[in-house]
Amino acid sequence: MKFKFATVTAAGLFNIALTACSQTPTKAAEVPMQPAKPAISTEAQQALSQAEADVKTAKAKFALWTTAETGLKQAQEAAKAGDSASVIKEAAYVSEQVKGGLAQLSYPSTEPK
């Protein structure tokens, strides 16, 4: 009796597995094409690259202001959207903020001696 139940159960599971395999699609699913990214001008690309380099330098010297980091994210989002004017504007703001952060390194310390 125990062997009959096990045999019937195994046969049933085997049948279900075969049925499931026969219903799988034979053609591989096609990957949808990614839409083309909007292009930005070369001037905007250069400004964004400079802003990214400035932020990297400020980070290495522990002089990165949060406003510069936020501005860089906004410039990168504008680049993804293809908005060259916004990229240039945000990149200039980022570079300005980084210069301020680096200049702040030369200020005298406020720690008591």
How far is residue 91 from each of residues 62, 67, 70, 83, 107, measured CA to CA in Å?
Answer: 20, 12, 11, 12, 25
Question: What is the 8-class DSSP label of residue 46?
Answer: H
CA 28 to chain centroid, in Å, comes to 28
Q: Could you list the pLDDT tens digit for every one of the 113 residues in the chain? A: 556 766 766 666 666 766 665 555 556 556 666 666 678 999 999 999 999 999 999 999 999 999 999 999 999 999 999 999 999 999 999 999 999 999 999 999 888 87
How far apart, in whole angstroms, are the C-alpha atoms of residue 70 and residue 75?
Answer: 9
> What is the rounded distance in angstroms from the CA atom of residue 9 to the CA atom of residue 12?
5
Q: Give the integer Cα–Cα distance in Å for 107 and 29.
A: 61
